[in-house]
Chains A and B, each alone.
Chain A
Amino acid sequence: DTGVSQNPRHKITKRGQNVTFRCDPISEHNRLYWYRQTLGQGPEFLTYFQNEAQLEKSRLLSDRFSAERPKGSFSTLEIQRTEQGDSAMYLCASSTVNYGYTFGSGTRLTVV
């Protein structure tokens, strides 16, 4: 296992299109997190799963955003009807307990 894997690394989409990102956590990690990072800022929490249960969602996660972790392993983050303000780096992290996050390299989304 080489760490947290995110795909795609880069995504360019037209405004109004839907996009989906995938995160494969470290295999023995039962906790999975999604963060968003805009240029010059620290990562901002979006949502968190423990196994397949989505336990917390930020108010940043509007109705256009949905995240799933159907089998408690990989997770997907979908953004519907993308807007230019959605352009950011989307980071996934996983952990075994509350501490010790490992981050992936992120998916860079550009909405044109």
Chain B
Amino acid sequence: GESVGLHLPTLSVQEGDNSIINCAYSNSASDYFIWYKQESGKGPQFIIDIRSNMDKRQGQRVTVLLNKTVKHLSLQIAATQPGDSAVYFCAEFEGGANSKLTFGKGITLSVRP
């Protein structure tokens, strides 16, 4: 999902359902990707990461999928809970001398009780 201006795209899911958040990244040289969760008034919080030599990585209730062919990243959250409501960002990292993370524009996840 991409956003324009001040309005982030929103994904609304029912509590207990699975959520899938998608991200298109831009740099084919990126070798490391991270998903962050950001709650209101707080800094981004690390969720899960994946290196470019992998296509899937699982954590607790979360899975990240990487498709380098189409430069696409997704975050799957199983059994979504109200506490998962937040803004989610994907970030890419080129590594080497370029040591900064470049963030996507974010998607708001809203969990309906």
Contact = CB atoms under 8 A, between A and B. Distances in A.
Q: State which size class the interface on B falls in.
A: 20 to 34
A39 B6 contact: yes
Contact of A40 (B6, B99, B104): B6
A103 B47 CA distance: 12
Interface string B77-113: 0000000000001010101001111111110000000
Contacts, number: 60
B103 A98 contact: no
Interface residues of A, number: 25
A5 to B, nearest CB: 11
Interface of A: 4, 31, 33, 39-45, 48, 55-56, 58, 91, 93, 98-106
7 contacts: A33-B100, A39-B6, A41-B106, A45-B100, A99-B32, A99-B93, A105-B42
